[in-house]
Structure 1
Amino acid sequence: MGPLPLERLQPSPAFSYCSVDLFGPLTIKDTVKGRTRGKAYGVLFNCMSSRAVYVDLADGYDTSSFIMVLRRFTSIRGYPKKIRSDLGSQLVSASKELKEVVKSWHWDTIKMFGNGNGMEWEFTKAADAPWENGCSEALIKSVKKSLSLAIGQSIMTFSELQTVLLEVANILNERPIGTSTSDPNEGTYLCPNDLILGRASSNVPVGHWDESDNLKKRWKFVQQVVNTFWRKWHRDYFPSLIIRQKWHVSKRNLQVLDLVLVQDNNSFRSNWKLGQIVEANSSRDGVTRDVTVRYKNIGPGTKYTGTQDLLIRRSAHRIVVLLPVEEQC
């Protein structure tokens, strides 16, 4: 396995170094003339150090439409120091149609955008080496698959689909990337939102809707799509956290006092269960097959206030180690 790019190892604010990739096209309908169909495409910015994500929607295939997405991104997240991206033929997550469109863009104009603010563009070199931009490719693959299953055959307006993508980005930014403390009694984890917002969650209370039934139905539809995305993405993303034998000579056994994530098929949106192993059961071959985990039954971003510990028993295949016992201070 080759060395990681320097940008992924340098301490820096979120989105100082990021990669960008496209996916689509996505079918949308006109807000007024519901039968009129159009095409849009998704744009995903991925911070190369914190793994924070920004997802947006472009409503056209021309250069100016992409620059409009760039303007929204830099207005919300600030100007990056460097953006790493593929040229059209290397956008492995995009359709053939989108690849051809991107190759026709005026890349000199795109690169000029942000030059006055010190933003630099860097392009991957080879079409047969998509892993050079793998930081975003892996995320796009799982996002695209889960989004497709969540939306299904439904056709959304541009505004509705953009809302879904922005909420999807928030779900991705609430995924665990480490522990926020070595004290298991806290029951909290570190996620990209901690670095972006200074808190673990951007969730706000759901308001009371007094408007027409049609508005409530469309709002509920958008929320249903986002909730379905969470279930599909959580199901596909969790196994990717487990260390593969491919890059490691031996697999470490789960041990008592390890801080871990527990896969829970019934978890609420963006709710990751963090706990500590209190018992590890090994088979005759010395391999840990199942464990008992102690955890706090609290929501994301909620401060621990003395909630009683809960114990659950899970297969080792549903456990991911966040902080091994030997690395705890």
Structure 2
Amino acid sequence: MANLPVPRVQPLRCFRHTGLDYAGPVSIKISSGRTSKIGKAWFAIFVCLSTKALHIEVVSDLTTQTFIAAFKRFWSRRGPITDLYSDNGTTFQGAKKKLDEMRQLALSHCQDEALANFISSQSISWHFIPPSAPHFGGIWESNVKSIKLHLRRVVGDSVLTFEEYSTILSQIESILNSRPLCPLSDHSLDPLTPAHFLIGEPHTAVPEPSLLEVNVNRLQRWSQLQAMVQGFWKRWHLEYIASLQPRNKWQLARENVAAGTLVVLKEPNLPPTKWLVGRTTAVHAGPDDKVRVVTVQTARGIYKRPIVKVAILPLF
């Protein structure tokens, strides 16, 4: 098992490094009345890689244009991001291409050098995990599982409208952002939650009284808030990151797979007695020089797979 990726252990603003996934579909009402039509909807899940904070957007289809609209809503409410991580879904591939085209178009029509530099600096690095490797995106896959669990409990077999789903998913977002990460202090019963990094307090906190009538000379609120935020990140660094370190599986080190190795791909949809055999043409090592992804040449074409999805054939 590899070390934690760098974005998971950096104390950055929420959603600076974001994981992305789609879940669904769910049935929705697209018209009112006795004979209301039933359609489908999905929800886009944005996960902060540092704090596990969550943002959910409901989308009406899987087109690139709909995703870009949802992404703009996310960007407007959560702030700019630098890196986006996702699987290789066609929606995400098309969205990345569209965003690159929009950025190039803006740069080509920009006459102001300062404005062009600003647009260039706002570019997003989009990272795709290897195909057929959902464990590479475990941080957002676990959130998809949690959202579906709460959704089944609340909705059941009911068919809701688009607005009703938006409301319910916003409440589920609040619930998941209030989940405990680690103790907030050694003597407190309150846990540190993703909401602390979003709004400075848990979603269940009692509203504070207004300080507008208090003499400004008596207030040191800004210093208190700064110390509070720094305390959140210190506890995050000392307690939460340490809880992510244990390795639950893949604990035995093995030799790296070399190029030219004969392997069998573990493909779930092949019929009986059919085996997809090929040879590795390239190996992709991580920062620790361990190979976890390989490119395999088969009779059907070239596949990029994690090593857990290939079986090495022994030499006799």
Equivalent position of 1:37 in the other structure: 38
Q: C-alpha root-mean-square deviation of aligned residues, in Å? A: 3.0
Equivalent position of 2:25 in the other structure: 25
For 1:106-185, list aligned pairs within 5 A: 106-111=95-100, 116=120, 118-183=122-187
CA distance in 1, matches of 2:17, 2:92: 23
- Asked if structure 1 preserves the Cα contact closer than 8 Å seen for 2:184 and 2:191, the reply is yes
3-state SS of 1:18 partner: strand
Question: Is 1:54 aligned to residue 63 of structure 2?
Answer: no
Question: Is 1:200 aligned to residue 189 of structure 2?
Answer: no
- Asked if structure 2 preserves the Cα contact closer than 8 Å seen for 1:87 and 1:123, the reply is no
Equivalent position of 1:317 in the other structure: none
3-state SS of 2:94 partner: coil
Equivalent position of 1:102 in the other structure: 91
Q: 1:275-308 deviations in whole A, cap 9, x for unaligned? A: xxxxxxxxxxxxxxxxxxxxxxxxxxxxxxxxxx
- Asked if structure 2 preserves the Cα contact closer than 8 Å seen for 1:174 and 1:191, the reply is yes
1:139 is displaced (CA, Å) by: 1.4
CA distance in 2, matches of 1:138, 1:118: 29
CA spacing shift, 1:13–1:187, aligned 2, 3 Å: same
3-state SS of 1:105 partner: helix
Q: How many residues align?
A: 200
CA spacing shift, 1:59–1:37, aligned 2, 3 Å: same
3-state SS of 2:25 partner: strand
Counterpart of 1:123 in structure 2: which amino acid?
H
CA spacing shift, 1:104–1:196, aligned 2, 3 Å: closer
For 1:201-216, list aligned pairs within 5 A: 201=203
CA distance in 1, matches of 2:5, 2:16: 14
CA distance in 2, matches of 1:103, 1:49: 22
Counterpart of 1:71 in structure 2: which amino acid?
K
1:248 is displaced (CA, Å) by: 11
Which ranges in structure 1 are unaligned for 5 or more consecutive residues?
89-100, 206-240, 250-329
1:122 is displaced (CA, Å) by: 2.6
Equivalent position of 1:86 in the other structure: 87
CA distance in 2, matches of 1:193, 1:167: 13
Which ranges in structure 2 are unaligned for 5 or more consecutive residues?
104-118, 208-242, 252-316
CA spacing shift, 1:8–1:152, aligned 2, 3 Å: same
- Asked if structure 2 preserves the Cα contact closer than 8 Å seen for 1:177 and 1:190, the reply is yes
1:8 is displaced (CA, Å) by: 0.5
Where does structure 1 differ by over 4 angstroms across 4 or more consecutive aligned residues? 111-117, 202-205, 241-245
